[in-house]
Amino acid sequence: MGHTIGRWIRGAALLPVALTAGVLAYAQEDDIAARLAALEESVSGSASSYVDNSYLFLIGGIIVMLMAAGFCMLEAGLVRSKNAAMQSTKNVALYSIAGLMFWVIGYNIAYPGAWIGGDEGLKFFGMPAMDAFFWAGGDLSVESDAGYAPASDWFFQMVFVATAASIVSGTVAERVKLWPFLIFTAVLTAVIYPVVVSWEWGAGFLDTKWAFSDFAGSTLVHSVGGWAALVGAIIIGPRAGKYFGKQVHPMPGSNIPLAALGTFLLWFGWFGFNGASQLAAGTAADINSVAQIFANTNMAAVGGVLAAMITTAVLYKGKIDATMVFNGAIGGLVSITAEPLMPSMGQAVLIGGVGGILVVLAVPLLDKFKIDDVVGAIPAHLVCGIWGTMIVPATHGAAFMPNEAGDPNFIGQLVGVGVTGIFVVAASTVVWMLLKLTMGVRCSLEAEEMGLDKAEIGLEAYPEFTSG
């Protein structure tokens, strides 16, 4: 008992310590709780990764927007001067129409709330939501659950549509009539492109059933534009005088420095196109990935340029072809677009390099079939778009068939490429043919000879430079 009491006394001796510690803890507690709350508010108020993510879309979006200027310069430089004002005007107009259509209906189709046939169905055609026509942003005062500003995403998606439309413009230049072209653009950006996008980025059948993988759109954007351009080139036919018999009459571009500028602007914009397709930048892992995508994207373009230079130097007895070099860059960029993150930088050079070679080989092939692609958009965007998509599994474990892990696989990629091709060719054929049968798609021979600048917009691109 004495022992017990002694224990109690020793225990009690510690009482003041406990007391002090407890009370002090309680007091500090208040301070810490207040500091913690302040910090929480600061961290939440600053919305750090929310802002970082939104910046990615906004900055990425505007530099992709500048790709519209890039296409404009490339095409204005590669058409003959008598059509250069028209081509410039078309590019401003198509960018506008793409934005309008994607707002009215395109976004709604691309990211459907539900599928016709239900979630167990084919997931082929989305069911547009009645309240999602005329896309609107939602509550600006709160963080969106998506983790980024809603309009930043819409904006970023919108400039992608415009890219697809720009591709068509170059191929069918110098003979397509303005209004049918713009109507085709409207249908492409309102329906055709969004349907294809819904299959993959909208969580449709390519995504859920085939593990189709297309990071930034080699197939979904570039091949869609390329297929539509191909159908347009066939239905509209080649420029007058381009082909007689087996001979190909060259019709050189009128302003090569502008085409070079266009190439650089496209290259520049592609950092946004691929980099911001990472879709987030608020964590170390995300921003590391964005940075790696920048480096890989650049290396693929480098590969495309050098491969095109070397290939043309070999094929053309030491002379390189400037337009092939420019298209080599674009071909390299399209090739890496389906997977700009997983390849090593060396693989990126190779993937882009093959793209550059494909461009050089595909141009004469098209001529052989008398398919007149004024700026070489079909080789760069369609051929390289397919190549870039098909090589994806090679840097992802090289699965052959869809598997349980959902790895990218060759069959899935082939299905994606094929179904996209079939759908876009079919839909484009219907639209181009309807336009041909109703209002006509091709300007008169007279207008073509005079140049579309004079014929359709009553103003010449370079009134003082040419004797015309």
How many beta carbons lie within 10 A of that of residue 45, not counting itself? 8
Which residue matches tokens 């939602």?
138
Instruction: List binders of a copy of itself among 205-234 (CB under 8 A).
Output: none
In the bound state with a copy of itself, the residue whose beta carbon lies nearer, of 342 and 427, is 342
Q: What is the DSSP letter of 394?
A: G
Q: Nearest Cα to 360, choosing from 388, 323, 319?
A: 323
Give the integer Cα–Cα distance in Å for 348 and 333. Answer: 10
Phi-psi bin for 237: left (phi > 0), alpha (psi -120 to 50), beta?
A: left
Which residue matches tokens 């484009």?
428
Kindly indicate which of the ranges 208-216, 234-242, 260-268, 418-426 contains the residues binding a copy of itself, using the contact rule CB under 8 A: 260-268
Which residue matches tokens 């090289």?
398
In the bound state with a copy of itself, the residue whose beta carbon lies nearer, of 324 and 382, is 324
- Work out whether 245 is an interface residue with a copy of itself (CB under 8 A): no
H helices of 79-204, in order, are: 84-101, 107-110, 150-171, 178-187, 193-200
Instruction: List binders of a copy of itself among 97-116 (CB under 8 A).
Output: 97, 99-100, 103
- Work out whether 364 is an interface residue with a copy of itself (CB under 8 A): no
Kindly indicate which of the ranges 40-48, 231-239, 357-365, 395-403 contains the residues binding a copy of itself, using the contact rule CB under 8 A: 40-48
Phi-psi bin for 28: left (phi > 0), alpha (psi -120 to 50), beta?
A: alpha
Instruction: List binders of a copy of itself among 140-199 (CB under 8 A).
Output: 140-144, 149-152, 154-155, 158, 178
In the bound state with a copy of itself, the residue whose beta carbon lies nearer, of 144 and 219, is 144
Instruction: List binders of a copy of itself among 388-447 (CB under 8 A).
Output: none
Write down the least CB distance from residue 334 to a copy of itself, Å. 16
Distance, CA of 1 to chain centre: 85
Phi, psi for residue 248 in degrees, rounded to 5: -110, 120
Instruction: List binders of a copy of itself among 79-98 (CB under 8 A).
Output: 80-81, 84-89, 91-93, 96-97
- Give the one residue of 3, 58, 225, 420 binding a copy of itself; rule: CB under 8 A: 58
CB 263 within 8 A of CB 74: yes
Q: Tell me, by CB under 8 A, how many residues bind a copy of itself.
A: 146
Give the integer Cα–Cα distance in Å for 261 and 271. Answer: 16
In the bound state with a copy of itself, the residue whose beta carbon lies nearer, of 49 and 429, is 49
Write down the least CB distance from residue 310 to a copy of itself, Å. 11
- Give the one residue of 21, 398, 422, 445 binding a copy of itself; rule: CB under 8 A: 21
Write down the least CB distance from residue 291 to a copy of itself, Å. 4
Phi, psi for residue 442 in degrees, rounded to 5: -115, 135
In the bound state with a copy of itself, the residue whose beta carbon lies nearer, of 158 and 392, is 158
- Work out whether 264 is an interface residue with a copy of itself (CB under 8 A): yes
Q: 48 to each of 41, 156, 267, how far by Cα in Å? A: 12, 20, 29
Kindly indicate which of the ranges 16-24, 210-218, 369-377, 384-392 contains the residues binding a copy of itself, using the contact rule CB under 8 A: 16-24
Strand partners, 115: 126
Instruction: List binders of a copy of itself among 275-334 (CB under 8 A).
Output: 275, 281-285, 287-292, 294-295, 298-299, 301-302, 305-306, 309, 316, 319-323, 325-326, 329
- Work out whether 22 is an interface residue with a copy of itself (CB under 8 A): yes
Give the integer Cα–Cα distance in Å for 193 and 196. Answer: 5
In the bound state with a copy of itself, the residue whose beta carbon lies nearer, of 382 and 455, is 455
Instruction: Please list, in sequence order, all residues whose beta carbon lies within 8 angstroms of the beta carbon of residue 351, skipping any fewer than 6 positions away.
Output: 300, 303, 332, 335, 336, 343, 387, 388, 391
Write down the least CB distance from residue 73 to a copy of itself, Å. 6
- Give the one residue of 3, 45, 131, 446 binding a copy of itself; rule: CB under 8 A: 45
